[in-house]
Amino acid sequence: MIFNSIRSKLTAWYVFVLATILVLFSALLYYFLSQRLYESVDNSLKVSANVVAKTALLKYSGAPPGLEFFFEQFLGFGNLNKFYRIYDESGNVGSRSRNIDASQFPLTQSAYANAVGGEVTYETFKVFETYPIRVITMPVMRNNVLVNLVQVGTSLEGVHETLRNLRIFLFTVVTATLMLTTLVGRFMARRALKPVAKITQTARAIAGGADLSKRIPVPEEQDEIGSLATTFNDMMDRLENSFSQMRQFGSDASHELRTPLTVLKGQSELTLSKARTTQEYQEVLSSNLEEINYMSRIIEDLFTLSKSDEGRIKLDLAPVDLSSIIVEVCKHGEVLAAEKNISIVVSYLEPARINGDAFRLRQMIWNLLHNGIKYTPPGGEVKISLQEKDDFAFLTVQDNGIGISENDLPFIFNRFYRADKARSRHDRGSGLGLSICKFIVESHKGEVQVESQLGVGTKFKVRLPKIPSPESQPRAKSPHPAVPNLEVSG
Ligand code: ADP
């Protein structure tokens, strides 16, 4: 197909529009010019007829001596292009230029009738083979009575020649212009669309070779094509990023699940290899249950994260008081903390209402508190506080536990990242808890930060936007007197 490329379509439209404009313009020019030319012929005929009429007023029946000579010299009747005839009131020829035969153009009935009525008539006759002639028939009146008729004719050769030349000129100019614009248009369209061809080429190479690192060269000019190239490259950045994340995520997830599965398989095979006592079976089964619990935790967390990636987690937003969630979470944490002889201290607790999903907020606070308990040695302390300032609620969870090294700190929110790789299998986490915390905080338009020092402790700071409420007053400014029974010592 000729028009299956944008370049051809653009050129075709461009040429079509230009052709229409040029043809219309030429037609109008031709029309007005021909009108003017015919008008100027009629005007010059009228001038000549007036001069002849003045002479005719002398009312002679034959040509006065020297008259033809005068006309030939001054009105140009000598050449074959201009003729005159003078009739008497009855329409009989009285005088005529010498260059015309009486029969060559007639005095028509209508022209005579008009003349009797005192009106001028213009007519066109085809007398010669080549060009028609234009004739004016003018009455000569004296005291409102027709005394003579004057006819002056001229060949339209000049006008026709001029119009013919104009037609040739316009045709040549229009054709040449259209041919030139077709060539220039195609060239310009090709130049303008060159980056698009590059984009297609790159996209094809990416699709063919699945090489997501390829990028399109961005043209210097930031026009529509430039911004298309930039957008395409941005899209490729994001695609490449999420593909590599997916790949990493998949391999991490399978790795995480392979270990407990291997343990489960090994333990089961070993147990079944010979007869065991009931106690031995119980031990193996409880160890297996631990692995199964661990796997279900990972699968649960993975499910949450993959739903969050797909944007399938719909937050059930409603006004919630963070302080009441903290009280609830701390109560649950007490049991775990007590097992490890750790105190949970609520240092500040101001009511802070935010527009949030209570279930997800509880999950986030639990993850932080649980980590504090997990990574703090017995006898340690996990402090939690909630304060409000301006339009924000500030939540901190601080422990005096093992801390996180400077090298690990930037990565702890990454999926499956664990700083303390040597931790016993018994209390290992999935490595997904902080990623989930980050997702929950960010989906509430908040921010989470961490400060930590190895061997000293870790502090997580969460900032969440509050619901502005003028009547919300601080409940407690001093360490937790309003929340009894939260400090748990083992
Ligand atoms: P996990 O399930 O392993 O706890 P998280 O995503 O919750 O996974 O945390 C990632 C890593 O960050 C942990 O493995 C741990 O090394 C480190 N970490 C998190 N919280 C603390 C803390 N309070 N103290 C010390 N290290 C922590």
CA atoms within 13 A of residue 229's CA, in its CB half-sphere: 21
Same domain, 133 and 157: yes
- Ligand 1 centroid, distance to 230 Cα (angstroms): 38
Looking at the fold, whether 155 and 14 belong to one and the same domain comes out as yes
Q: Which residue has its alpha carbon closest to ligand 1 atom 20?
A: 371
Which amino acid residue places its CA nearest to atom 19 of ligand 1?
A: 371
Q: Does the residue 172 lie in any domain?
A: no
Length of the chain in residues, anyone? 490
Q: Which CATH number do you get for residue 156?
A: 3.30.450.20
What gap in Å lies between CA 296 and CA 289, rounded to an integer?
Answer: 10
Look up residue 400 and give its two tokens.
């005096």
For the domain that residue 257 is a member of, what is the CATH number? 1.10.287
pLDDT attached to residue 56: 64
Q: Is the same domain home to 322 and 297?
A: no
Q: Please tell me whether residues 402 and 335 are part of one structural domain.
A: yes
Which of 138, 162, 186 represents a domain boundary (last residue)?
A: 162
pLDDT given at position 484 = 35
Let me know if residue 134 belongs to a domain.
yes
Together in a domain, 362 and 278: no
- Cα(402) to centroid of ligand 1, in Å? 10
Residue with CA at minimum distance from ligand 1 atom 13: 418
- Provide the residue type at 280 as one letter: E
Looking at the structure, tell me whether residues 25 and 95 fall in a common domain. yes
State in Å: Cα 424 to ligand 1 middle: 13
* Structural domains of the chain, count: 3
Output the pLDDT for position 64: 54
Domain span at 455:
318-465
The rounded Å distance from CA 196 to ligand 1 centre is 48
Distances (CA, A) of 251 to 190, 248, 365, 428: 46, 5, 28, 19
- Please tell me the pTM assigned to this model: 0.56
For residue 376, the ligand 1 atom closest to its alpha carbon is 24
Kindly state whether residues 338 and 389 are assigned to the same domain.
yes
156: number of Cβ within 10 Å:
20
Half-sphere exposure for 246 (CA within 13 Å, toward CB): 9
Domain boundary among 116, 131, 162: 162
Q: Are 22 and 155 contained in the same domain?
A: yes
- Sign of the C-alpha dihedral computed for residues 408, 412, 415 and 421 taken in this order: positive
The preferred substitution site among 298, 411, 417, 434 for testing ligand 1, maximizing ligand atoms within 8 Å of CB, is: 434
pLDDT at 425: 53
Tens-digit pLDDT profile for residues 416-453: 888 866 554 555 677 889 999 999 999 999 999 999 99
| Assigned domain for 219 exists | no
Same domain? 150 vs 40: yes
In order of 40, 44, 152, the CA distances from 47 in angstroms are 11, 5, 10
Residues of the chain with pLDDT under 50: 1, 60-62, 102, 424, 472-490
* 285 C-alpha to ligand 1 centroid (Å): 28
Paired strand residues for 385: 348, 396
Ligand 1 pocket test: pick from 412, 440, 449 the residue with the most ligand atoms within 8 Å of its Cβ: 412
Q: How far is the CA of 432 from the centre of ligand 1 (A)?
A: 9
